[in-house]
């Protein structure tokens, strides 16, 4: 964020709105009877409850998708708390707790532009109501500061590799989580025997590294 803030300070006077640089798709929940956890249909995210650090975690699927987000789209929570962000790791259906923000070749720029709007989005959390929310019109008209087209392209070239690295790290972490989940029950049941592993050799190897 420091890189983005130095190149595109949102403290500057706003000169655009979000819809000038991105397409916004508001989510719509499918019929509850279409939900399943068996992988049938499209991946479905209802809201921020499925959010991870950067990417959401699969839980539900739907056979009757209504509104879709594309891989790489920014997913933003539009219900309390408004403004939490993730990135769609794949094409997915989004429920009414989310909106998808798409900007084609400037996706990484818009990702960090949205992160820079946290204070502005926080104003929708409350405002005299029990549960905060933001509608499509307000999201599209969110005031932002944009640099020149060359400035946007420059920032995109700097930020895209950072997002790619974050994606690779997350893919590796998920692979390790799946390996752990597959091996742990076998270890607990005794199906895999580790009694003959010399832990002193393992510790020695780790200390050398």
Instruction: For 59-90, write each residue's pLDDT tens digit.
Output: 999 999 999 999 999 999 999 899 999 999 99
SS3 call for 204: helix
Taking the C-alpha atoms of residue 59 and residue 50, their distance in angstroms, rounded to an integer, is: 7
Q: Which architecture, in CATH terms, is 2-162?
A: Alpha-Beta Complex (3.90)
User: Are the C-beta atoms of residues 133 and 139 closer than 8 Å to each other?
Assistant: no
| Domain chopping of the chain, boundaries | 2-162
pTM confidence score? 0.83
Instruction: For 126-181, write each residue's pLDDT tens digit.
Output: 755 557 899 999 999 999 999 999 999 999 999 999 999 999 998 888 788 778 87
Structure-derived torsion over alpha carbons of residues 126, 128, 131, 136, reported in degrees to the nearest 10? -80
Taking the C-alpha atoms of residue 100 and residue 86, their distance in angstroms, rounded to an integer, is: 10
Q: Where are the alpha helices (DSSP H) in the chain?
A: 2-7, 107-115, 118-122, 136-140, 149-189, 199-208
Instruction: For 90-109, write each residue's pLDDT tens digit.
Output: 999 999 999 999 998 999 99
């Amino acid at each position: 964020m420091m890189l983005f803030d130095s190149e595109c300070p949102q403290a500057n006077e706003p000169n655009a709105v979000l819809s000038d640089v991105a397409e916004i798709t508001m989510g719509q929940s499918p019929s509850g009877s279409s939900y399943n956890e068996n992988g049938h249909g499209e991946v479905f995210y209802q809201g921020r409850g499925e959010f991870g650090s950067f990417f959401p975690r699969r839980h539900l699927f739907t056979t009757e998708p209504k509104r879709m987000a594309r891989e790489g789209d920014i997913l933003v929570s539009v219900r309390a708390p408004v403004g939490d962000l993730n990135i769609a790791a794949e094409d997915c259906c989004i429920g009414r707790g989310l909106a998808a923000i798409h900007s084609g070749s400037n996706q990484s720029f818009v990702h960090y532009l949205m992160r820079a709007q946290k204070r502005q989005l926080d104003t929708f959390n409350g405002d005299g109501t029990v549960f905060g929310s933001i509608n499509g019109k307000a999201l599209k008209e969110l005031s932002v500061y944009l640099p020149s087209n060359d400035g946007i392209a420059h920032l995109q070239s700097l930020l895209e590799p950072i997002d790619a690295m974050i994606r690779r790290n997350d893919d590796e972490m998920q692979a390790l989580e799946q390996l752990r989940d597959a091996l742990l029950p076998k270890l607990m049941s005794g199906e895999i025997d580790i009694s003959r592993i010399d832990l002193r050799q393992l510790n020695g190897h780790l200390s050398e590294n």
